[in-house]
């Protein structure tokens, strides 16, 4: 089975992140991404996710077709057994033998029908669980990617605030050096009126 478009987009995002360079003075675990490119990939991912889910819903819907086919085959086997039973009963000389054989055929047909139904139900459940697991794996990959992006954005934001605080402190110190505080003048003594 070929990769889904969601898997391809996730691989494109991972490949794109691998090509991104880090900031000049940053640490090795930080990168600079092209916001427009990243938003384009995430937009396509959002659009494709419902399509993948619909595809798996169709797979699950096939379960009903599998069960209907099994029921039809079981009914055909029982109908054939009943027909054989009727033909045997019409022969008076072998009526007892026909009765026993018919019961055996009906029992075998019932067992075969139950086995077909059991297999169809098991197959349908395996398809359903596989579809759910696949969708959950895709969503987990997207969740991890978004978590990494949020962590990276928070680190960049915190570093930017620290840089601004340093610039602010430098400006404050420079202004203080340019304009030293004047010594406070002593208040003039009031002359007493006599």
Lowest mean pLDDT across 32-46, 87-101, 120-134, 158-172: 87-101
Helices (H), the chain: 5-19, 35-90, 95-178
User: Which residues, including other chains, have CB under 8 Å from residue 149's CB and lie 6 or more apart?
Assistant: 38
Instruction: Give the C-alpha distances (Å, rounded to integers) separating 164 from 26, 168, 174.
Output: 16, 6, 15
pLDDT in tens, 143-181: 888 888 888 888 888 889 999 999 999 999 999 889 876
The structure tokens listed for 155 are 């680190």
Enter the pTM of the model: 0.35
- The CA distance from 136 to 51, in Å, is 15
Q: What is the DSSP letter of 1?
A: -
- The CA distance from 161 to 155, in Å, is 10
The structure tokens listed for 104 are 């055996």
∠ CA 125-131-137, nearest 5°, is 135
pLDDT of residue 1: 46
User: Which residues, including other chains, have CB under 8 Å from residue 157's CB and lie 6 or more apart?
Assistant: none
């Amino acid at each position: 089975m070929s990769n889904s478009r969601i898997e391809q987009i996730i691989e494109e995002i991972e490949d794109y992140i691998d090509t991104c360079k880090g900031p000049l003075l940053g640490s090795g675990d930080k990168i600079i991404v092209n916001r427009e490119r990243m938003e384009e990939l995430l937009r396509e991912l959002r659009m494709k996710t419902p399509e993948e889910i619909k595809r798996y819903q169709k797979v699950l819907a096939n379960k009903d077709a599998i069960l209907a086919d099994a029921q039809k085959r079981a009914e055909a086997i029982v109908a054939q057994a009943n027909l054989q039973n009727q033909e045997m009963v019409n022969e008076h000389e072998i009526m007892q033998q026909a009765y026993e054989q018919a019961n055996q055929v009906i029992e075998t047909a019932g067992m075969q029908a139950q086995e077909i139904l059991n297999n169809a139900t098991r197959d349908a459940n395996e398809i359903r669980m596989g579809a759910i697991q696949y969708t959950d794996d895709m969503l987990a990959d997207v969740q991890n990617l978004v978590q990494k992006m949020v962590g990276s954005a928070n680190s960049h934001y915190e570093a930017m605030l620290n840089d601004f605080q340093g610039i602010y402190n430098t400006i404050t110190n420079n202004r203080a050096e340019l304009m030293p505080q004047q010594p406070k003048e002593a208040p003039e003594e009031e002359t007493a009126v006599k």
